[in-house]
Amino acid sequence: MAGRVISKQVRYNWTVDEGEQTRQRYRWVFLVINEPDKIREIKDRIYEQMALIVDQRKIDSGIVQNSGNLHYELFSFSTDCGRIENPHKICDIKAIPFMKDTNLADEKSDGLSLLING
């Protein structure tokens, strides 16, 4: 039996960083599924919207199985920005789903494997 088809998409989640800083800081986690050059473009657009970014981490990346050459990258960062003002400037949200996914975490997980591998 074939697995489900994985399509291009952008998923994200955020938490409030705990610590002693004076300003509230947010920890964002993104999963981008697309062609490699488009992943780079989408990441750049995310970074542009989030202003000052610190503690960037590439958590995982690779090829999505049975997807016709789609790749994925799971990455995270911290910022003072607590919301995405213009998701339509990150990607064409009518063509590529852009959604919050509360299951995304700042680490590899079995859930990620299930999502990526169908």
Tell me, what's the pLDDT at 105? Answer: 86
**Structure tokens given for 9:** 């998409």
Q: How does residue 21 score in pLDDT terms, banded at 50, 70 and 90?
A: low
Model pLDDT for residues 33-54, shown as the tens digit of each residue: 999 999 999 999 999 998 789 8
**Strands across the sheet with 26-34, in order?**
53-63, 71-79, 26-34, 9-16, 98-100
**Structure tokens given for 59:** 């958590």
For the ranges 1-5, 8-12, 49-53, 63-67, the lowest mean pLDDT is seen at 1-5
- β-pairing, 53-63 with 26-34? unpaired
Tell me, what's the pLDDT at 41? Answer: 95
The average confidence (pLDDT) of the chain is 85
* Span 76-100, average pLDDT: 89
Spell out the domain ranges in the chain.
Answer: 9-107
Q: Alpha-carbon distance 118 to 63, whole Å?
A: 12
* Span 78-100, average pLDDT: 88
SS (H, E, C) the chain: CCCCCCCCEEEEEEEECCCCCCCCCEEEEEEEEECHHHHHHHHHHHHHHHCCEEEEEEEEEEECCCCCCCEEEEEEEEECCCCCCCHHHCCCCCCCCEEECCCCCCCCCHHHHHHHHC
